[in-house]
Amino acid sequence: MSLTVKILGCGSALPTTYRNASAQIVDHNGKLFLVDCAEYTQISMRKAGLRFTAVNNIFISHLHGDHYFGLFGLLSTFALSGRKQALVLHCPQQLKQMLTSEFSPVNIKELGFDVQFNILSDDGVNKIYEDKTFEAFSVPLRHRIPVWGFIFKEKMPLRNINKACIEKYKLSIAEIVSIKAGSDLYLEDGTTVPNKELTLDPPKPKSYAYISDTVCLPSTAGAVSGVDVLYHEATYEALLAERAKETFHCTTLQAAQTALDAGVGKLLLGHFSGRYQETDTLQKEAQTIFENTVCAYDGMELEI
């Protein structure tokens, strides 16, 4: 299975000539999940060769413009392109009211496709999406307005059958299905063959977490514990910790400490203030706490 993250924008409030505001694609086996949707997102998607029809779920972390202003244009483009399949918006309650107002009197139902709203809850970590192999969760954070992060996880796959055992024990289709699901094999002479002798370990499920605008919270590390890659906002360098506190944002060192406490595999910094044209110093600063740190950049593609 494949899990890839594509950065469409990793800047903060003010878009610059070298960095767009927040938007990214989580690609799981060709299913595209759009996370935040700042201005210019649909153009970035076109440049990246991403199929609009593969996006059926959009996750909006909060209602500051640099995280959702591109949504209105994207929905209009979907409509003009003749989209028919339903779209699910995982979002704050107020966004439903905004979109209904924006598209009236045309009415949001007349876009030509069904828009479903999954309203985010601030009551702890919640599962908000699930299919046969993948699931997503919302994580309440703390900013000047209600805000959420998102966790994307592959489900634990079934164990792989050891092909040599199929011939050795003359396994039927029904037995193979049962063994892959975790059952032991019971032979006619009363012998039990343990499942671990019949199967091989499946690939480790992959996981990714997106932590949007927030102050540093101890609860965040618990929520994202052990993920393969953590994208965490790092709007400011450590020298500007007071500014970060005033604006309800994080510094590089705070993001790095969260990654360390959570035991993640890799830290991906993003949501950089427009004052930083280059991010090398931010990366090096974070690496003093969490070595496996890299800075995001527009157009970046990271396979997990």
Positions marked active-site? 66
Closest CA to 234 of 209, 256, 261, 210: 256
Q: Is the C-alpha dihedral spanning 43, 93, 84, 26 positive or negative?
A: positive
User: Rounded CA gap, 34 and 50, in Å?
Assistant: 11
The Cα-based distances of 238 to 84, 130, 235, 286 in angstroms read 47, 38, 10, 9
List strand residue ranges (DSSP E) for 111-263, in order: 115-119, 126-130, 134-140, 148-154, 160-161, 185-186, 192-193, 199-200, 207-211, 229-233
Closest CA to 75 of 64, 91, 277: 91
Closest CA to 297 of 16, 43, 74, 13: 16
What the block records as the tokens of 83 is 């989209």
251, β-bridge pairs: 236
The reply to whether omega before 157 is within 30° of 0 (cis) is no
User: Rounded CA gap, 303 and 204, in Å?
Assistant: 14
